Amino acid sequence: MIKKITNLKYIFLSIISIFKLNNELKKSNKTVIFFYFPTRAFNKNIFEIIKNLNKSNKFLFYFGYYRKNYFEFQKRKNSYLINNRLLFLIKGVDIFFTSYVTDSVPKKSKSIYMHHDIFDTALVKKEDETKTLNKLNNFNYIFTSSKLQNSFFLKLYKKNSIMQKNKCLDVGYSKLQFNLFEYNKLKQTKKRGIIIFIALGPFEQNKTQSFYNKIEEFCSYFSKRIDIEKIIIRPHPLDIFSNYLNHKFKVIKNKKILIDKNKNYIHNFKNSDILVTDISGIAYTYSFTTLKPVFFYNDFNNFNDIDYFKNSKYYYYQNKIGFRFKNLFSFKKKFFVFLKDRKLAKSKQILKLRNKIFTNKNPIKKISEIIQELD
């Protein structure tokens, strides 16, 4: 009942925001770009795009946010709290830009969805694919990070027998460009031992394959090793407010363990030695930024869609950038090999793969140029 009342409250606040925004947009004599951030996640690369666009002095920028991003955006100029289902009520937006699949888009706008992953990781649960692809058809463009992703969306539409109405443009991976710039500026902190970074995929999307199911067992093992200084656990942005998972983190509480809910993960990229993950898209972001290895948890006995996953490029390239394991025993074997010979960190292989996939070295500039051409 309380949840229902809270939802109604935010719907009401959204309607008021839209009324105010529409009145404001009537006064505009510039091209209006509306950036939408409905959930709490890394977005600094998008603000670099905005900084680039602002040089032309012909755009007016507005921002939309919702409950999970309230404290970040409530005091920002030209920011409005809006439920994504009500975006179609906004009038006067020329270009709509978001990295989230929204239920609607502002009418008569040129709408852009920028996909935030590098590889062909599942967008949603299998049973929700059709619904999500239909939502994506509301957009005019999908900005992808590579030709590999263009192919991924093409196959996804074909698999679900849906006509693709949007256009995929390979613009490069702006998040990686921003990460590399920030990463190279940082100095590594002095360490006494190994730092393990655990980044998790969305729990609700694939409960059976999630590394959350093994986290207690592995953290117990890591905590006992004297050569391991720290274990940093990063939940998926969609799971930050999960009561179930927050309870699980309390259970594994240990002085060596740090739960990282910060949107900016660059410091943990810099200071960690390896990444442990399941199906998180952060795996390749981490490896291509740091040139460090990733340990992938793959337990196919519990996989929802094993054929799709085994045919994905996400799975295919795992051995190029790291190691696969299915339980603690197999992890120990791979981890021992890694510790014995750090040359197996595969940094040269990782760099070669990064250069092969990302041919565009300045995606922030390219995205800005494309948006200016849409005007």
| 256 shares its domain with 155 | no
| 122 shares its domain with 195 | no
pLDDT 10s digit of each residue in the chain, 375 long?
666 667 788 899 999 999 999 999 998 889 999 999 988 778 899 999 999 999 988 999 999 999 877 788 888 899 999 999 999 999 999 999 999 999 999 999 999 999 988 888 878 878 889 999 999 999 999 999 999 999 999 999 999 999 999 999 999 999 999 999 999 999 887 777 888 888 877 666 666 677 878 888 888 899 899 899 999 988 877 666 666 666 666 666 778 888 887 778 899 999 999 999 988 888 999 999 999 999 999 876 655 566 667 788 888 899 999 999 989 999 999 998 888 776 556 888 999 999 999 888 899 999 999 999 986
| 99 shares its domain with 247 | no
* Residue 181, domain member (yes or no): no
Q: Which residues contact 148 (CB under 8 A, 6 or more apart)?
A: 119, 120, 313, 357
- The answer to whether residues 35 and 50 touch, using CB atoms and an 8 Å cutoff, is yes
| 236 shares its domain with 369 | no
CB atoms within 10 A of CB 89: 17
| 196 shares its domain with 297 | yes
| 342 shares its domain with 276 | yes
Residue where the block lists tokens 């404290």: 71
In degrees and rounded to multiples of 5, residue 83 shows phi and psi of -70, 135
* Residue 335, domain member (yes or no): yes
* Residue 226, domain member (yes or no): yes
The CATH number given to whatever domain includes residue 261 is 3.40.50.2000
Q: Which residues contact 81 (CB under 8 A, 6 or more apart)?
A: 10, 13, 14, 17, 64, 65, 66, 67, 70, 73, 74
Q: Round the CA-based radius of gyration of the chain to a whole number and report it.
A: 21
| 53 shares its domain with 197 | no
Range of the domain at 211: 189-357
- The answer to whether residues 74 and 81 touch, using CB atoms and an 8 Å cutoff, is yes
Distance between CA atoms of residues 317 and 319, nearest Å: 6
Encoded tokens for 338: 């890694």
| 349 shares its domain with 370 | no
* Residue 184, domain member (yes or no): no
DSSP 184-202: HHPPPPP-SSEEEEEE---
- What share of residues in the chain are helix, strand, coil (percent, to 5)? 50, 15, 35
- The answer to whether residues 136 and 111 touch, using CB atoms and an 8 Å cutoff, is no
| 316 shares its domain with 215 | yes
| 277 shares its domain with 367 | no
* Residue 183, domain member (yes or no): no
| 11 shares its domain with 107 | yes
| 49 shares its domain with 130 | yes
* Residue 138, domain member (yes or no): yes
How would you label 263-292 residue by residue, b for 16+ Cβ within 10 Å and e otherwise? eebbbbbbbbbbbbbbbbbbbbbbbbbbbb
Question: How many structural domains comprise the chain?
Answer: 2
Whole-Å CA distances, 44 to 249, 265, 367: 28, 12, 14
